[in-house]
Amino acid sequence: MASTHNLRYAPVEGGTHHQLYLPRPPAGMKVQDIKRLKDLEKENVRLKKVVAELTLDKEILKEALEGK
């Protein structure tokens, strides 16, 4: 596992969360593993947006049914 002093965090464009950036691959981590990690991070961001949109839709429908 990488030591935390090698890790940097930077804001992700258009969001309030932070994305992990590794200045160099940690010992034992292959380039394909790093690419896979980046792909998973992108997919995670996409899925979080989907969940946020669905949650908003649910709240709107709930309020409409309650007659507010």
- For residue 42, the enclosing domain spans 25-68
Output the pLDDT for position 34: 87
Residue 7, CB half-sphere, CA atoms under 13 Å: how many? Answer: 8
Dihedrals phi, psi of 53, to nearest 5 degrees: -65, -45
**Number of structural domains found in the chain:** 1
pTM of the model: 0.55
As a whole number of angstroms, the distance between CA 1 and CA 21 comes to: 15
**67 is a domain residue:** yes
For 15-56, write each residue's pLDDT tens digit: 556 666 656 766 788 889 989 999 999 999 999 999 999 999
**68 is a domain residue:** yes
Residue 39, Cβ density class (10 Å: 0-12 exposed, 13-18 middle, ≥19 buried): exposed
With a cut of 60, say whether residue 1 has pLDDT above it: no
**11 is a domain residue:** no
